[in-house]
A and B are shown apart, each in its own frame.
Chain A
Amino acid sequence: RKEVEQDPGPFNVPEGATVAFNCTYSNSASQSFFWYRQDCRKEPKLLMSVYSSGNEDGRFTAQLNRASQYISLLIRDSKLSDSATYLCVVNPRDDKIIFGKGTRLHILP
């Protein structure tokens, strides 16, 4: 099993719809989790941290399921500007940051 796995997509979603994707991780001792967003030919930018209790930031909701070892990202009322690659990041106990390969999201007008 890979350390961090994501569905590469692309997810083609009409504007205004809700979309969700998951990221699974193999190291049960992983300590912290993040979602980053990366636009084409740009650097990754932090979208949100993922807390054990789950967290919400506007239209974005992130959740952690430790029992099943995955994190999720939900985007409500999607906008054209949400089109990007979403990278799952896992920080195991040894502090090596591990990125997934990313999930490509295309919001369609």
Chain B
Amino acid sequence: DAGVTQSPTHLIKTRGQQVTLRCSPKSGHDTVSWYQQALGQGPQFIFQYYEEEERQRGNFPDRFSGHQFPNYSSELNVNALWLGDSALYLCASSRGAGRQETQYFGPGTRLLVL
């Protein structure tokens, strides 16, 4: 039973560039949430996807966008990167948005913006 997978594991970009991060949910899960975790902080909720739609969104600018595919995998896109976007980006999957289901996290993508 494959867990949550994310790619790439590490990424280095420069200011102004765009980045796409990918996530495949745990088998049997249909909901994907994305989080940003800066050094020394807890994960901050970016948004959640269910049935290929963004269902919930945290306090992140429109530069952060996403997509969910029919196979439930998801992408996080960040445009016009800032230095402050450097962080660990975590994907978590669960079953059924709107229910109090446990989230399982992937290993994350470490993004460094220079």
Fill in one digit per residue for B33-64: 1 if any A CB lies within 8 Å of its CB, else 0.
10100001111110010000001101000000
Q: Does A57 contact B (CB under 8 A)?
A: no
- Give the interface residue-count category, chain B: 20 to 34
Residue of A nearest to B91 (CB): A43
CA distance A27 to B108 in the complex (A): 29
Residue of B nearest to A43 (CB): B105
Question: Which of chain B's residues have a CB closer than 8 A to the CB of A4?
Answer: 42
Fill in one digit per residue for A9-41: 1 if any B CB lies within 8 Å of its CB, else 0.
000000000000000000000011010000000
Given contacts A96-B45, A96-B58, contact A42 B100 (CB under 8 A): no
CA distance A47 to B56 in the complex (A): 25
- A residues 85-99 in Cβ contact with B at 8 Å: 87, 91, 94-99
Residue of A nearest to B110 (CB): A41
CA distance A43 to B5 in the complex (A): 11
The interface on chain A, measured as residues whose beta carbon lies within 8 A of the other chain's beta carbons, has a size of 21
Q: Does A49 contact B (CB under 8 A)?
A: yes
CB–CB A44/B105 < 8 A: yes
CB contact between B100 and one of A32, A44, A98, A101 (< 8 Å): that residue? A32
Q: Does B7 contact A (CB under 8 A)?
A: no
Chain A nearest CB, measured from B22 CB (Å): 15
CA distance A98 to B41 in the complex (A): 12
Question: Which of chain A's residues have a CB closer than 8 A to the CB of B100?
Answer: 31-32, 91, 95
Chain B nearest CB, measured from A1 CB (Å): 16
Question: A-contacting residues of B (Cβ < 8 Å)?
Answer: 33, 35, 40-45, 48, 55-56, 58, 90, 92, 97-98, 100, 102-108
Question: B-contacting residues of A (Cβ < 8 Å)?
Answer: 4, 31-32, 34, 42-46, 49, 87, 91, 94-102
